[in-house]
Amino acid sequence: MDLSTEIQNCLLESEASEQAGDIAGAFSRTRQALQMVRARPGTAAAEASVLVRLGKLKFRLGDYAQARKLARSASTWRPKTAWHMPMPCS
C-alpha cells in the first residue's frame, strides 16, 4: 500500500469514527495521517487534505479559531481548493 492510500484510509476512518460519535478516534486517525505526511517530503497536497480534516473536527467541537488557522494553513498548500465550512446556527 502506498503512502497516499494509507493517508486516504486514515482520513476515511476518521470520518467514519466522527459519524459514529467517536471524536477521539477521529482525531487519533487524523493525527496519524498528519504524522505520515510530515515524515515524507513531497506530500504537501496530502498535508493540506489532512489539515482540512483536522480543521473540520476542530470546527465541530466549537474551536473556530483553531479551525480557521488550520484552513489558512491548508490553503497555503492548495490555494485553489475551496474549503467550505457551514457556519453554526444561531
Name residue, grid cell 497536497.
45
CATH pick for 3-77 out of 1.10.3720.10, 1.25.40.10, 1.10.287.470, 3.30.360.10: 1.25.40.10
Domain ranges of the chain: 3-77
pLDDT confidence of residue 46: 85
pTM for the model:
0.76
Q: What is the pLDDT of residue 76?
A: 74
Q: Are 57 and 30 in contact (CB under 8 A)?
A: yes
Helices (H) and strands (E) in the chain, counts: 4, 0
Write the pLDDT tens digit of every residue in 1-59: 566 888 899 999 999 999 999 999 999 999 999 999 989 877 788 888 899 999 999 99
